Amino acid sequence: MLKLAALESNKSQDLEKKEGRIDDLLRANCDLRRQIDEQQKLLEKYKERLNKCISMSKKLLIEKSTQEKLSSREKSMQDRLRLGHFTTVRHGASFTEQWTDGFAFQNLVKQQEWVNQQREDIERQRKLLAKRKPPTANNSQALSTNSEPKQRKNKAVNGAENDPFVRPNLPQLLTLAEYHEQEEIFKLRLGHLKKEEAEIQAELERLERVRNLHIRELKRINNEDNSQFKDHPTLNERYLLLHLLGRGGFSEVYKAFDLYEQRYAAVKIHQLNKSWRDEKKENYHKHACREYRIHKELDHPRIVKLYDYFSLDTDTFCTVLEYCEGNDLDFYLKQHKLMTEKEARSIVMQIVNALRYLNEIKPPIIHYDLKPGNILLVDGTACGEIKITDFGLSKIMDDDSYGVDGMDLTSQGAGTYWYLPPECFVVGKEPPKISNKVDVWSVGVIFFQCLYGRKPFGHNQSQQDILQENTILKATEVQFPVKPVVSSEAKAFIRRCLAYRKEDRFDVHQLANDPYLLPHMRRSNSSGNLHMAGLTASPTPPSSSIITY
């Protein structure tokens, strides 16, 4: 009985402990539930606050964008009078747009006409002055001996004829001092007119650059006003569109604000033509997806980052890119024509740095569409950072497609012809073989254009003319203009990039180690060795230049 009582006592104690434990757990559970409820309420509060912040950010961004749009349109209207505008002109049954210069250009034309008139007046007066030029010492004696008989003869003739008409007096000769004084005045006036003409020309060039910006802005505003995305929509519940940056064939690029990451971005909206067949739409979409997959994996400071990709509907999809404030190199060259060798070398160094990265990753990538339009100047100047963009034509050098001789060019005819090497234009039974030396050729063309303000081959030709006349296939040697003066090292570098035979051309890794692109100390040591090795002739690349990566 005692054992039973003890056992009962122990059981009751255990039961009390368990009940106490249960009570503790229940209280803890209640506390946890209370904390969860509090955290849930706090979370809801923070969500509400975050939504308010996002809403306020959207409101402020839209207000700012609206004000900027209004300001840009007001400025554009003012510039229409000063710089010019487009007018619609009818030609038979069709209408075309014609450009009309503003009063700033008209004033310059009037100033130039005034300068030309003044120059003509001075030249006419100089001719009259030449007739009154006093005789020199050598001619004075001969003139005096011949003057007396002539005077007697003239008197006899005049007296005999009794001419009723009044004849003009012969110009009176000036003294030597008077002649030189007047001649000096004319020279000074001509010099002053030459200076004025130079100032007019400089102002005209400046106005033309401003006019290019004005025309670009007029077109941008017109495209923005006709865009279905002009009213600040939020795409994918994340990207607030602010204003149009530019428009291409089937795409529009908007400056946007990423409400999640709180950063600006460039949203490229691809809109397929609704009249296209489903097969063509599918091919376009596959091409864009391929570009996205290639670009998404790239991470380099000299390459524009690709953040996101999403669809809006069956005919519209978007890619989200890193936003860069400046313009591209193509726009810079159109405005400034050319740049200094130091600036151009800096840009080429950065391009080659990006190309080296593209050829060190696995599998390596050929950009294939390197050109000034695909090189962004981050701050809009030639002395800052650059970023490469647009991988729409890039080639993946995987083991299945790349061999010892390179890879087949399956997209022959695509690309920008001025910047493609001769091997891309070879037509035969088999497609031509390409390697990263395609990008090396493009670097040489871009460098040449930055230095001289013109393309080395087919400068004033259209793409169709280049193709029909085999311009690039005939580009066996690059010719350098006399002006501006460029260093012999830069010319040698361009020749190495533009070697006609791809076997003689540098690959990307050789180009990255070229003495011209190395720091000054290393360059001075390496250049001697390079010239000693006879690199004025074409270099021979290693046989396994790419496939060993």
Catalytically active residues are 369
Distances (CA, A) of 507 to 34, 438, 503, 510: 68, 9, 9, 5
DSSP string covering 306-372:
EEEEEEEETTEEEEEEE--SS-BHHHHHHHHS---HHHHHHHHHHHHHHHHHHHHSSS-EE----SG
- The token duo for 60 is 């402020």
Residue 365 near residue 397, CB atoms below 8 Å: yes
Mapping DSSP onto H, E and C, the string for 269-310 reads: EEECCCCCCHHHHHHHHHHHHHHHHHHHCCCCCCECCEEEEE
Residues making up the chain, counted from first to last = 549
Sign of the torsion angle spanned by Cα atoms 410, 412, 414, 416: positive
Q: Can you tell me the distance from the alpha carbon of 196 to that of 112, in angstroms, rounded to the nearest whole number?
A: 9
Q: Name, in order, each residue with C-beta under 8 angstroms of 419's C-beta and a sequence gap of 6 or more.
A: 369, 370, 371, 441, 442, 445, 446
CA distance 549 to 544: 9
SS3 533: coil
CA torsion, ordered 449, 452, 453, 457, to nearest 10 deg: -50
Alpha-carbon span 109 to 99, nearest angstrom = 16
Q: How far is residue 252's CA from residue 269's CA, in Å, rounded to a whole number?
A: 5
